[in-house]
Structure 1
């Protein structure tokens, strides 16, 4: 039959998009196949959840009728720490304008105990007011410490009094008890709920959210030797903790930071296009626990739709730095790399110094209605100066694969297997935003 009989609007052919993406699709075919095979048992579990409507049955008991309030079990796993579990209560429409309240308690894994209350409001009361509040207490009995800087591994037994923390790296553990308070306040502009190429009266393209304001972060920390037995020695058996600013006697700081966020993602949970940009600058308020220091950072992430919204390439780069006298900056406030948010394949807090730089690339593809496969590759370094941190020849690299389960609104959890310095497994609800790690 002719074209008219087929009722084609135009004669079909090969689209330019298919030609341009042929090479990257071919290059990613083998890793994608390996990922599908590796996570076949989990895909079976997803089928069981779907077949027997387990999520819907849970929601019918523990969620409100409109789904805005409920109680959720929380769980996680991180190599080097083990499993954690707890409960979380949420209300996602507290004052009828999508304000959110979250209350949670968590135990096990890296935590002896952790309690948190959080309020999130992008448009409080329907206004342009942006207000996020966070209060948390946590006791972490055995965090990793590998020394300061990017020196090589330490050799031999520790001398009397311990090594200088900048002399080299060796895996140790320490205890941290912390009280954290965070306030983000400012204005929210744009409307991410109705994407459009048109512009509203304020000149923002619909689908773009811009937040401009101030952030205040209070940290009160107390440190000590590890209080849970692991293979790694306690910190004081290897390092001279008297040379570690803030360790003896604890540290208290209040940071005041100007914050700018520009978010053009098509959605937060499973973005297929758009960008996320965050800039912050300010410092620790002098007189709280010393003369203070300057602190600045930036992150840029972008998502590229490779094919019809379900095969996505993500590119990400971040840098963070502090400026001040070494003795005035607590070691716990130094920028760091390692863990599920920054430089996967390395233990949490594996590297820390005055400047941290990192870049990442990830490819996402569909596995199930709510499940995406992930292939990722990270690289980064810490150093005392910006120039040294950007020396790519000296960067550390890691990569791996994973599964991301979630909706367009939120990531439910992420399972990742990575290798850099060692094989590591993480099950978490880690966000993409690099500077959320400052609150972790």
Structure 2
């Protein structure tokens, strides 16, 4: 979060938890930190930071995640008190942690994690608490730490991710553990609920939401690296195999007098190389979350050119809510949750329709609905509201358990 801001589901729910008056204390267990010597090597190699500092770092700052109050410092962890409610535990392993949290699959590191979390719980004097797990790879650790209730938040079907093919056995084991041990499961999509958790008695579809305040800003300045010599089609998000290159290339060649802007880290090496030959294509790299609204505000059209497959069916792209909150016309392939917003977006069944729709919308914007209709479509989709829905379900489950014990 220090690096990327709050452009994830779990980070936005954490902010909502901090704001909620019914929540007393929070212990946030971070993913393991990259060791200092590895960060040094990466910085020397790259000659620059992966995420640049925002050009106006004070805008939208909701909480500070650096603190002078250190509650505990040990060999393998550091516990910090961030504010009146939030305590953050940083885990330190001194070794690079390969993608997929592979270190914590080894018993020695799993024991270290359990040991450090238990110490922190004792220091903070947590007697009764809920365990809320957002990291599938840590579900067994979360179950071991469970006191009153284990809640699992399922974000995408990781079994279907192109980069997880060699990890399916381990991930399936983790999903099995979540089904067996979590009293409550929230899913980001209906597909996840109906495929991975169809036999769980307490599973609820609760989609993503949006930080409304970030998109009510006025007097926005054009980002320095955003070309504005032509009309602009924009995409924000992780650049990986879920993006349909045929759809993109057809759209780029059909709309030669339009700039196509991509914001986000490229996570699929070589996958986008064929697009770099086009002079109207710009990869601007990852941006801090506080900068994203500025870029979106200068897009003329926003796109979601995702493939339609088992993985994308399990998703609920945050970018869709961001685009809509900014009042932008959205052109998308028929991936969830597009059907739920079909009255204010353009859903295209194939690459040719997608390419033509871009041109049509640029030439004749908001001909089927108004900009206000677009903004209004996500007015009730705040993270505070989403958290209230979750807390109500949690309260109901606690009450039901009490009744069963009587």
Same fold, TM exceeding 0.5?
no
Instruction: Select the structure that is richer in strand.
Output: 1
**TM-score, normalising length from structure 1?**
0.25
Instruction: Select the structure that is richer in helix.
Output: 2
Larger radius of gyration: 1
**TM-score, normalising length from structure 2?**
0.27
**Of the two structures, which has the highest relative contact order with CA contacts closer than 8 Å and spacing of 6 or more?**
2
